[in-house]
Amino acid sequence: MPDAQRPQTTSFGYREVPTSERQGLVNDVFAKVAGRYDLMNDLMSGGLHRLWKRDFINWLAPPKADRPFRLLDVAGGTGDIALRYGAATGESATAVICDISPKMLEVGQRRINDAGLAHRIECVEGNAETLPFPDRSFDAYTIAFGIRNVTNIDRALAEAYRVLKTGGRFMCLEFSEVKVPILDKLYEFHSFQVIPRLGKIAAGDDQPYQYLVESIRKFPNQEAFAQLIGDAGFERVTYRNLTGGIAAMHSGWKI
């Protein structure tokens, strides 16, 4: 078959799948784990994701005073980041959670209602690659453990740049490359030998967890991802490793 006629493919974990099918496969993964998302993150991080998200909000440093500030949290369906942001800010600070998964948004909406923050945090179904928001709409854009599930990362970063105001900040929290000897081997064993088995026991299905650990290994390392952020137009791009690089926070500014 001539190259022009071959279907485009992309990675889904360690499998190559047609690009047109990947997002549907990712959606299926998160539809399966939506009700057990906290459990999934506990298994993936050994419970450390809660500390990492605290550090993430601290580095974002949203205004504590009661003044307007608007956050877009992408792929944040269950509300973890938006709820922490809501607790750290005043009444004039608002947030929009944008997630492609209706099941994840259902979980997030319940949690937002329970926290009494529905007047400040809204949920919108949307794709990170084609955000349903006008240009220059937000003061900050966050995405936590979601960017590696996007089919076209370059397009998602371009959309982040588009919807941020001048002076706005992009921040990403994601699993990354372990930089500490011995810890890297231990985490490799935990990822491929322990996590899928725990997922099978705890959730009755190891396949979503198998995909998630594979997707971490396919994701660019800290330096390569920082380069992608810079290529999208962001300046002053920096990153901080967490727990030896098991996860990393990246930051960039639209100047």
Residue-wise pLDDT for 190-241, tens only, equals 777 777 777 676 656 667 667 777 888 889 999 999 999 999 999 999 999 9
Report whether 222 contacts 245 (CB < 8 A). yes
Question: What pLDDT is stored for residue 185 in this prediction?
Answer: 87
Q: Which 3 state secondary structure label does DSSP give 146?
A: coil
Does 6 have pLDDT greater than 60?
Answer: no
The average confidence (pLDDT) of the chain is 87
**Which residues, including other chains, have CB under 8 Å from residue 189's CB and lie 6 or more apart?**
none
Question: What pLDDT is stored for residue 233 in this prediction?
Answer: 98
**What CA–CA distance (Å, rounded) separates 64 from 67?**
8
- Residue-wise pLDDT tens digits, 59-90: 999 998 888 999 999 999 889 999 999 999 99
Please give the residue that has the higher pLDDT: either 49 or 159: 159
Average pLDDT score over residue span 163-182: 95
Query: Residue 1: which pLDDT band, with cuts at 50, 70 and 90?
Result: very low
For the entire predicted model, the pTM comes to 0.86
- Residue-wise pLDDT tens digits, 113-138: 999 999 999 999 999 999 999 999 99
**What CA–CA distance (Å, rounded) separates 22 from 150?**
9
Question: What pLDDT is stored for residue 72 in this prediction?
Answer: 98
Q: Set out the domains of the chain in order of their start, with CATH numbers.
A: 5-253 (3.40.50.150)
CB atoms closer than 10 angstroms to residue 226: 20
Question: What pLDDT is stored for residue 195 in this prediction?
Answer: 74
